[in-house]
Amino acid sequence: MDFDLSEEQQLLKDSVGRLLADHSSFEQRQANRREAEGWSRALWAKYAELGILGLSFEEKHGGLSAGPVETMVVMEALGRALALEPYLATVVLAGGLIRHAGSDAQKSTLVPKIADGSLTLALAHGERQARYELADVATTAKKDGDVWVIDGEKGVVLHGDSADKLIVSARISGSRRDRDGIGLFLVDANASGIVRRGYPTVDGLRAAEIAFTGVRVKADAALGTPGKAFAAIERVVDEAIAALAAESIGVMSVMHEATVEYLKTRKQFGTTIGAFQVLQHRSVDMLIALEQARSMAYYATMMAAEPDAAERRKAMAAAKVQIGRSGKFVGQQAIQLHGGIGMTDEYKVGHYFKRMTMIDTLFGPADHHLRALAATEGLVEA
Amino acid sequence: MDLRFTPEEIAFRDEVRAFFKTSVPEVVRRKMTEGHHLAKEDFVSWQRILNKRGWATPNWSPEWGGTGWSPVQQYFFLDEMQQAPAPPPLQFGVSMLGPVLIAFGNEKQKKHFLPRIANLDDWWCQGFSEPGAGSDLASLRTSAKRDGDHYVVNGQKTWTTLAQHADWIFCLVRTDPAAKKQEGISFLLIDMKSKGVTVRPIITIDGGHEVNEVFFDDVRVPVENLVGQENKGWDYAKFLLGNERVGIARVGVTKERIRRLKHLARGERDGDRPMIEDQGFRERLASVEIELKALEMTQLRVVASEKNRKDKKPDPASSILKIKGSELQQAVTELAMELVGPYAMPAPDELDEGSNEPPIGPDWAETVAPVYFNWRKISIYGGSNEIQKNIIAKAILGL
Ligand SMILES: Cc1cc2nc3c(=O)[nH]c(=O)nc-3n(C[C@H](O)[C@H](O)[C@H](O)COP(=O)(O)OP(=O)(O)OC[C@H]3O[C@@H](n4cnc5c(N)ncnc54)[C@H](O)[C@@H]3O)c2cc1C
């Protein structure tokens, strides 16, 4: 049991932190939102230079063979910077599926391009009727000779508008919520039959609604065995939850630090407002919420590579509840303790609150995961 | 960063787990599980078993009978003991006075008292709080005036836990009434059998007799019973109060209570359905389990950071542990109230062991409400949660 970062991990943390401090201040971030794709290609190239785009892929495919702790370090830093870039979409989600389901040949062609920043990806999995049920896939893939024909609609595809390629899930057999019978296919985002409607999300990032109409892909576009993709999807979503937990820590830390700083500078009634005990206690409550969330982010990181899916799912459900609840409390109180300033679009805290709020909805909010955990034997084993 | 335990740590955990499984007297385990008060003999017999094994005072320096365990081992020891469930070695001696004597006592005091604390030959109680000095402990007024080679003590302590069993009391007394309030306090050891000491019970809302008032009426205390220097008692008290980090969150206690709740909820029915199948109950339970897992990790972070702590100041995160830990212990008592339902109500006269009357309602019901009421204390004593927040605001947030 050792919570210290190794020398290399510390180096990674320092260098990502420095990169983002230099190139993604809050002002720069707001400017980057106005770029054509809603994020900065230039910054993305710097991520590539630093090596964080290839971080979790195996060395033999062009990655760095790093584990969940390194992903946590990067995600926390991205959270602190409120980064706009499609790291979650490309590296964690789509990249994760390539890692877990891809063939050696697929990895050898794709990983170097992900790592050098020339290929961005998005995971087109969620559908409107599915809400947070991962097995709910109505989009279909039908075999026609040696091609697959994909039809259906995917919703809120993170960074789906700017992605070069999409990994789309589609049903090959079974009924809509069956775990069995789901396939994953790698398609060119501009392939004929694909219509993408991109939009900004409330946290300042981007997503897309994507319609697939008779989209034809070759057999070798399948990731893993068609029909057997569910385990990989579940696993990658769990990894994404661990990553989001780490991102949340960055987001919450900034909100808390900004609040405490404000309590020390803002004066009313002839004194700094931090002299008021009710605000002291509130900021301590925020700290406790943050530290509890940090602990669960560590726990999620520890469990991200757990092969026993049921145990892993429980851990991620618990982490998602904790970060959802902590994040909501820290965010709401950060706004409250700033007073009117907290309400302004110009000030950074509101933007962190919005990101935190969207992180809660991603892959299911706290209530959803509480229900999921409550349906199991729980965390305290008999 | 490696969030797993080493094989050696796991082996150690298994060793202490096995020890608790086989060594805790059945009557003690049963009373703990069922929420009954322990008798004095229960504490004594159990602590002597621990002492025989060399495990009564793991937190002490090895020179004085400590085990020299790493923070992780200390953590496992307490966690497994809490989960067993077994009572900790009597805290007033082992966690509070012992470390103070080791740090500030003289050789004679150490040689005489420490082995007796370890074996629970002397039952110690803590005489800090007074009617006028609670959170603002330094405003205490019990006085000790020098008269030859004695101090003459007058005043009153209150909330003194288990003073009814005590042979000795360690007290904060005012030796210099003219000094600033923190600077005129001394740390004095007083024999409870001394002439002029009177103990009166305070019955708490659960109906139990756990706390007492202790009166001092011209009690003569030999000066050799002064710990450290005169008028430096406040420093020793701060040391004492900040000392306990590992185990303060009592995560193991809450784990054990949750296990018990789940067990009982399988047997208790709402109509045709066991309560464990009630969706709302399960969600409330899951909520507590999540916070508890987070707290366990927070606790491990504190444990793991012990080795990095250069100065000997207690980790400020221990205040977080206290607040969250108390909230969760209390939350579990609320879930038990929910589970027991209407049979929270009967309040039979006989709460103690040995009654031959059949139980009213479920045989586990009668202690549920008393424990719920009794455990409200956890967020009050040892520095109330409000005081903990004041400390964090100042020490961690710099407010
Ligand atoms: C069951 C039990 C066992 C105990 N055992 C012992 C024992 O063995 N030995 C011993 O010496 N003492 C013991 N205590 C005493 C305990 O330490 C005190 O009760 C505690 O320090 C609080 O003091 P008080 O009761 O005077 O409350 P007060 O200090 O009067 O507090 C009343 C309320 O005001 C709040 N408050 C006080 N000051 C502040 C502040 N500055 N800011 C914000 N809020 C504040 C408190 O949090 C509390 O909510 C025990 C208490 C209990 C309940």
Compute, in angstroms, the gap from residue B380 CA to the centroid of ligand 1.
5
Picking from A227, A262, A279, the residue at the C-terminal end of a domain is A227
Residue in B closest to A263 by C-alpha: B399
The answer to whether B244 is a known catalytic residue is yes
Q: What's B250-395's CATH class?
A: mainly alpha
The residues pairing with A267 across neighbouring beta strands, listed in sequence order, are: A272
Question: With an 8 Å Cβ cutoff, are B3 and A302 in contact?
Answer: yes
The number of residues in chain B equals 399
* CATH architecture, domain defined by B7-89: Orthogonal Bundle (1.10)
**Final residue belonging to a domain, choices A227, A260, A286:** A227
Distance CA A66, CA A254 (A): 26
Whether B374 lines ligand 1, by a CB cut-off of 6 Å, is: no
Residues of A in contact with B263 (CB under 8 A): 382
Closest residue in B to A5 (Cα–Cα): B1
| Cα distance between residue A365 and residue A317, in whole Å | 9
Angle formed by the axes of helices B71-83 and B7-23, nearest 10°: 30
Same domain for A206 and A112: no
Chain B 378-397, residues with CB within 8 Å of chain A CB atoms: 386, 389-390, 392-393, 396-397
- B397–A283 CB contact, under 8 Å: yes
Which of B6, B290, B303 to mutate against chain A (most A CBs within 10 Å)? B290
Catalytic annotation, pick one of B244, B268, B338, B366 = B244
Structure tokens at B27: 């009557």
Q: From chain B, pick out residues whose CB is under 8 angstroms from the CB of A263.
A: 399
Q: Are residues A346 and A366 in the same domain?
A: yes
- Using the 8-state DSSP alphabet, how is residue A363 labeled? T
Residue of minimum CA distance from atom 53 in ligand 1 = B377
User: Within 10 Å of residue B351's Cβ, how many Cβ atoms?
Assistant: 16
Instruction: Note down the domain range covering A265.
Output: 231-374
H or E element in which residue A67 lies:
none
> How does pLDDT run along chain B (399 residues), one tens digit per residue?
887 889 999 999 999 999 999 999 999 999 999 999 999 999 999 999 999 999 999 999 999 999 999 989 999 999 999 999 999 999 999 999 999 999 999 999 999 999 999 999 999 999 999 999 999 999 999 999 999 999 999 999 999 999 999 999 999 999 999 999 999 999 999 999 999 999 999 999 999 999 999 999 999 999 999 999 999 999 999 999 877 666 689 999 999 999 999 999 999 999 999 999 999 999 999 999 999 999 999 999 988 888 777 665 656 566 789 999 999 999 999 999 999 999 999 987 755 556 677 889 999 999 999 999 999 999 999 889 999 999 999 989 999
Rounded Cα distance, A344 and A338, in Å: 10
Helix, strand or coil for residue B31?
helix
- Taking the Cβ of residue B258 and every Cβ of chain A, the question of whether any pair is shorter than 8 Å is answered with yes
- Phi, psi angle pair for B395, to nearest 5°: -75, -35
**Which CATH architecture does the domain made up of B124-231 adopt?**
Beta Barrel (2.40)
Say whether A182 sits in a helix, a strand or coil. strand
Secondary structure class of B192 (helix, strand, coil) = coil
Q: Which residues of A touch B323 (CB under 8 A)?
A: 288
From ligand 1's centre to the CA of A284, what distance in Å? 20
Helices A68-81 and A7-23: angle between axes, nearest 10 degrees: 20
pTM of the model: 0.95
For A315, which residue in chain B has the nearest alpha carbon?
A: B290
> Are A249 and A220 part of one and the same domain?
no
Among A192, A227, A262, the domain-final residue is A227
Peptide bond before residue B85 is cis, with ω within 30 degrees of 0:
yes
With respect to residue A265, please indicate whether it lies within any of the assigned structural domains.
yes
Task: Say whether both A319 and A246 belong to one domain.
Answer: yes
Distances (CA, A) of A191 to A86, A138, A197: 21, 20, 14
Domain coordinates of chain B in residue numbers?
7-89, 124-231, 250-395
Q: Find the CB nearest A287 among B6, B285, B392.
A: B392
Kindly state whether B337 is in contact with chain A, defined as any CB-CB distance less than 8 angstroms.
Answer: no
Rounded-to-integer distance, Cα B361 and Cα B345, Å: 10
Q: How far is CA B157 from CA A84, A366, B42, B126, B172, in A?
A: 61, 47, 26, 9, 9
ipTM of this complex: 0.95
Report the separation in Å between the CA atom of B381 and the middle of ligand 1, taken as the mean of its atom positions: 5
Residues A98 and A57 in one domain: yes
Is the same domain home to A41 and A70? yes
Look up residue A89 and give its DSSP letter: I
Determine the residue of B130, B135, B170 to mutate for testing ligand 1's pocket, defined as the one with the most ligand atoms within 8 A of the Cβ atom: B135
How far, in Å, CA of B304 to CA of A286, rounded?
A: 23
Q: Please tell me the distance from the alpha carbon of residue B340 to that of residue A267, in angstroms, as a whole number.
A: 51
For residue range B131-175, what is the model confidence (pLDDT) as tens digits?
999 999 999 999 999 999 999 999 999 999 999 999 999 999 999
Look up residue B104 and give its amino acid: F
For chain A, count helices (H), then strands (E): 12, 10
Number of domains forming the structure of chain A: 3
Chain B: nearest CA to A341, how far in angstroms? Answer: 20
